[in-house]
Structure 1
Amino acid sequence: MDRVKRGNKAEAEGETSASSSRRSAVTVHDVAREAGVSSMTVSRVVNGTKVREPLRVRVQAAIERLNYVPNVAARAARSGSLRIGVLFSNPRSSNLGDFLMGAFQQSGSDGSQLVIEPVATHPKATDAVRKLVATGVDGMILPPPLCDSLEALDILWQAQIPALSFATADPRSHSSAVLIDDFEGARAMVRHLIGLGHRDIAFIRGNQRHSPALRREEGFRAAIAEAGLQLDPARLVDGDFSYRSGLDAGRALLDVSPAKRPTAIFASNDDMAAAVTAVALGLGVSIPGELSVAGFDDTPIASLLWPQLTTIRQPIAEMAATAVEILSDYLKQRRNTPTPPIKHHVAPFELKERGSTGPVRVEVLNLGI
């Protein structure tokens, strides 16, 4: 938990530049002054009414500079309905199905309505945030990396729409969050591998724009240091959470002479770990006989591989349900209390030991690697 709480320091530093814009919400009159037009012209641009192109461009530029969003959400709130915006950034993610299942199950239970918006259909991720704000959602769930975006959080603050950061490793004091302890999860996995006799362990990083990727690498480094092992920089390989990046990382680590291969590879997520097993299969490297492979998340692919993947289970469906519940409760409380309490829910992780990891073979140890 100490590692999770360290985000507050980064928050204080990162939000200094945004503090001036948080003193008061930007209004249509502020945009009008910034663009040098009338408030009516700004309203016409916001509502999609036809205006001269030079004026529209000036107003749109002012809107983006000031992070202005029309407060449609306030009107929707007065109707008594709860509409929660849900963004997802990677349609190919193995987590998406579990996330949506948990979110829809909870929304059906508490009577809230989910408004789903894919980030990939927009030029910028924050454009997806703006679109949901414009539709009048009451609250919004932000996935990685938007959950760590000060710009996205500021857009929602300006619109007075509560945000919930999902699967962040850097929760903010002014918004709710649902997460696991990524640092401890990664450290637990490395300890497991060390307990099996592995001393030459490689690590495949995740997308560095995602705070969980950074915390997982920190957990890896901490466990290696605690065991008194020297970390070879060549054993840290870049990835971006995609299967393709796992293939590239796997080739870099395994398409070498047997004496230069690590005895274990720990990937920051299951997709990259699955790619490593494919590379090993292609090179004739047996798992777990010659190589142990571990992942993170326990997505469906972890159980579909053979041998099945040892991984850290992140209960995505339960976390998604909790996220909807926390945000719904917050919105209901806000009708009577101006500032309901912020909640940071840390879900438990579980190390799932399966067939992809095993003890180091004696003949491998005798190679001196």
Structure 2
Amino acid sequence: MTVHSPAPTRSSRRGGSTPTISDVAARAGVSPMTVSRVINGETNVRPKTRETVNAAIAALNYAPNPAARSLAGAGQTRIGLLYSNPSAGFLSEFLLGSLEQASRRDVQIVVEKCELGDHELEVTRHLIEGGIDGIILPPPLCEAAGVLDLLAKAGIPAIAVATAMPSADQLAIGIDDREAASMMTQHIMDLGHRRIGFITGDPNLSASAQRYAGYTAALEQAGLPFDPSLVADGLFTYRSGLDAAEQLLALENPPTAIFASNDDMAAATVAIAHRRGIDVPGDLTVCGFDDTTLSTAIWPELTTIHQPIADMARAAVDLLVTAIRQSGSDAKIERHQTLDFTLIRRQSDAAPRRRPRESRT
């Protein structure tokens, strides 16, 4: 098992003319692992797939590198993990779960960081050209259209983690974000709160929209009017949480509770409350989402939704490896897996104070 840092992009053609195993895989519409199986004469490949791969090999005049062929014969699966996540807490748990499960499955995992923009495509090409067999995409890359298209054209299986709306043929691991957010909103209402602020997540991620939908659905079910002034935009970053909390707490009639779409923004809300002399939870209930290490690293500790991040990473490794090793066979796999979530109650929530709150200047 190895962990690599980003390296310069290499050309997929040695000297600009020699085809690679990734070229053969792309032409045949299969994964490099399937090409490797055909080259090594393995029997767990469907005849039609074998014919397609052999036709691609002939069309490209591909000659396997003896050293690469020897490595392929060893049978070790190589998967990539491409990440660009603003939450250090989410990322650390995700990496830990991925590395642990890769070790258990005897899988080599290559970890690459990228910056959103064109860089993620450059790093994805680097992984493809390195002969990767599959790739794990945690948020926000789980819904990066350019990356997904590039992998599909190369015939490399990818698994999207924490996407709320995967396509039918996509490998995906997640939770029911809408139901989780609805449960948390209901919990806050059960405490007696009626003015509940909400901080949204990254607008480019479906999970953000689902959490917002859960918040509004719970209000509607309880017969509470929706107040758009109680919703502030966030980006899942601590900094965006600071700005959103300032906006909500500066209202003439501020909320008595704030539900943030992740723990980073909830922690930022607690910080702004402290700065304004507002007691949490005496004057303001604050709740988060994810249950990262940050949720217990601040005071008061956060009431939050436990999203099983490490378990999601382990499940992603398992499902991706299974898909790779069964490529070309008739075996069926469950492409979408939904894991359970839990509402964790700690010290940051309480019933609303019955007297006007006091604050310091």
* TM-score interval (norm. to shorter): 0.7 to 0.9
- Answer yes or no: is the 8 Å Cα contact 1:308–1:355 preserved in 2: yes
Whole-Å Cα distance in 2 between the matches of residues 45 and 196 of structure 1? 59
Given candidates 331, 347, 351, the residue that maps to 2:339 is 347
* Most deviating of 101-110 and 275-284: 101-110
- Answer yes or no: is the 8 Å Cα contact 1:290–1:360 preserved in 2: yes
The aligned runs of 1:78-157 (5 Å cut-off) are 79=72, 80-90=75-85, 92-120=87-115, 123-157=118-152
- TM-aligned CA distance change 1:45 to 1:315, over 3 Å: closer
- Answer yes or no: is the 8 Å Cα contact 2:295–2:302 preserved in 1: yes
The code of the aligned residue for 1:185 comes to A
The aligned runs of 1:159-198 (5 Å cut-off) are 159-198=154-193
**Displacement after TM superposition at 1:146 (Å):** 2.4
* Most deviating of 141-150 and 322-331: 141-150
Let me know the Cα RMSD of the aligned residues: 2.6
**Displacement after TM superposition at 1:278 (Å):** 0.3
Given candidates 31, 34, 49, the residue that maps to 2:15 is 49
**Displacement after TM superposition at 1:74 (Å):** 5.3
Q: Give the TM-score, by structure 2 length.
A: 0.79
**Displacement after TM superposition at 1:220 (Å):** 0.5
- Answer yes or no: is the 8 Å Cα contact 1:129–1:152 preserved in 2: yes
The code of the aligned residue for 2:308 comes to P
**Displacement after TM superposition at 1:47 (Å):** 2.5
Q: Give yes or no for the alignment of 1:225 onto 2:220.
A: yes
**1:165-197, CA deviations, whole angstroms, 9 ceiling, x for partnerless residues?**
111101221121110000000000000000000
- List alignment gaps of at least 5 residues for structure 2: 1-9, 18-22, 41-71
The code of the aligned residue for 1:327 comes to L
Given candidates 248, 263, 283, the residue that maps to 1:290 is 283
**Displacement after TM superposition at 1:357 (Å):** 0.6
In structure 2, what is the equivalent of residue 235 of structure 1? 230
- TM-aligned CA distance change 1:76 to 1:132, over 3 Å: farther
Whole-Å Cα distance in 2 between the matches of residues 272 and 252 of structure 1? 13
**1:37-95, CA deviations, whole angstroms, 9 ceiling, x for partnerless residues?**
xxxxxxx96436379xxxxxxxxxxx9xx99x997665556612201111111265211
- Answer yes or no: is the 8 Å Cα contact 1:98–1:317 preserved in 2: yes
- Answer yes or no: is the 8 Å Cα contact 2:86–2:237 preserved in 1: no
* Most deviating of 145-154 and 131-140: 145-154
- Answer yes or no: is the 8 Å Cα contact 1:175–1:342 preserved in 2: no
Secondary structure (helix, strand or coil) at the match of 2:305 reads strand
**Displacement after TM superposition at 1:158 (Å):** 1.4
- TM-aligned CA distance change 1:298 to 1:71, over 3 Å: closer
In structure 2, what is the equivalent of residue 323 of structure 1? 316
- Answer yes or no: is the 8 Å Cα contact 1:122–1:128 preserved in 2: no
The code of the aligned residue for 1:179 comes to G
- TM-aligned CA distance change 1:345 to 1:86, over 3 Å: same
**Displacement after TM superposition at 1:150 (Å):** 3.5
Question: Which is helix-richer, 1 or 2?
Answer: 1
Count how many residue pairs are aligned between Structure 1 and Structure 2.
Answer: 306
- Answer yes or no: is the 8 Å Cα contact 1:103–1:321 preserved in 2: yes
The code of the aligned residue for 1:344 comes to H
- TM-aligned CA distance change 1:319 to 1:50, over 3 Å: closer
Secondary structure (helix, strand or coil) at the match of 1:125 reads helix
Whole-Å Cα distance in 2 between the matches of residues 127 and 250 of structure 1? 36
**Displacement after TM superposition at 1:317 (Å):** 0.6
State the percentage of identical aligned residues. 41
Q: Give yes or no for the alignment of 1:361 onto 2:356.
A: no
The aligned runs of 1:232-271 (5 Å cut-off) are 232-256=227-251, 260-271=253-264
Whole-Å Cα distance in 1 between the matches of residues 88 and 96 of structure 2? 14
- List alignment gaps of at least 5 residues for structure 1: 1-43, 52-62
Q: Give yes or no for the alignment of 1:310 onto 2:276.
A: no
The code of the aligned residue for 1:357 comes to D
